[in-house]
Amino acid sequence: MGHAPDFETVVERHRREIQVHCYRMLGSLSDAEDLAQETFLRAWKARDRFEGRASVRTWLYRIATNACLDVLARRPRRVLPDQLGPAGEPAGPISAVDLPWLEPYPDRLLDEAGPDAAVVERETIELAYLAAVQYLPPRQRAALVLRDVLGWSAKETADLLETSVASANSALQRARATLRERLPARRAEWTAGDPTAGETALLKRFIAAYEQGDPQAVARLLHEDARAVMPPYDLWFASAAAIVHALSLSLDPASPHCVGRFRMRATRANRQPAVATWLRHPGADEYRWFGVSLLTIEHGLITDLAAFESVPAAAWGLPEIWREG
């Protein structure tokens, strides 16, 4: 694999799944892009030492995992607002907070990750899973991803972590215990796989309600205990009533807190239904990129809403400015 054309072929074959692996470890699309590039740079520098005792894919995963562990050793975990403090109540303008926020990952990129379904299956890429993984110390996180996502053996995992099989197994068991505590109890009931007809209809109603500036129409789509987080704001809501109150302040043109009018398009992220959003501020003449919101749907109602304002439109293959038609 020492010749540049051969190496470039290998890179392209594995680039996206290595990026997904780094995302799962780090919880950040931007960091994952950087670490995937770092992985292939390290691999290029070490190409003459590759002995072929393991597959090239396994070798790249080893390099990527170690690169992620290096980053995790010096950076705080990524968070969502509901991990920082109790829910609040809407009370007008809020300010962004500069924290290492968890980021979503577009399905359009997951679809490029290759034929191994385990790499991108919803159970280990959905937002709730990524949020729970952030609570794990780096080595527990690596043990969990290597064993439960990639299907590595205990010995392979121990070799990478430079520890004993017993220690690697102990790290895995502690990681699994933390996830059981952190993951939603009814997670298995969430809509999974390709969008259902009911999910598609709900998304259409959700988009219409927002575009028409109708908080009460949104309310009819929410579970009474629905939760909403909005990175980069640390304020979050723990009921449909609080969410609708906030929308009443921000969507009403007569309100001093009105943010403007929205245009939306259905999309998907982290194997979940989502909407891409453009916003026209009061007095503005065009709709500009606003962000992406991920929805969790259970029994035909939205139970969780995560709105991310700081994600780039390019990652979703979408324009910065909304064009009608």
Residue 233 backbone zone (phi > 0: left; psi -120 to 50: alpha; other: beta)? beta
Closest-CA residue to 84 (of 187, 227, 236, 226): 236
* pLDDT value at residue 4: 61
Residues whose CB is less than 8 angstroms from the CB of residue 307 and which lie 6 or more positions away in sequence, other chains included: 228, 229, 230, 231, 277, 291, 292, 293
Element at 296 (helix H, strand E): strand 288-298
Q: What is the pLDDT of residue 277?
A: 98
Cα 229 from Cα 214, distance rounded (Å): 20
Q: What is the pLDDT of residue 310?
A: 86
Six token digits for residue 8: 């470039």
User: Residue 56's pLDDT is what?
Assistant: 87
User: Can you give the pLDDT of all 325 residues of the chain as single tens digits?
Assistant: 555 667 778 777 899 999 999 999 999 999 999 999 999 999 989 888 787 677 888 999 999 999 999 999 999 999 999 999 999 988 867 889 999 999 999 999 999 887 676 677 888 999 999 999 999 999 999 999 999 999 999 999 999 999 999 999 999 999 999 999 999 876 655 555 667 888 999 999 999 999 999 999 999 999 999 999 999 999 999 999 999 999 999 999 999 889 999 999 999 999 999 999 999 999 999 999 999 999 999 989 999 999 999 899 999 999 999 987 6
Side-chain half-sphere CA neighbours of 205 within 13 A: 17
Determine the pLDDT at residue 6: 76
CA–CA separation, 199 vs 209, rounded Å?
15
pLDDT of residue 7: 73
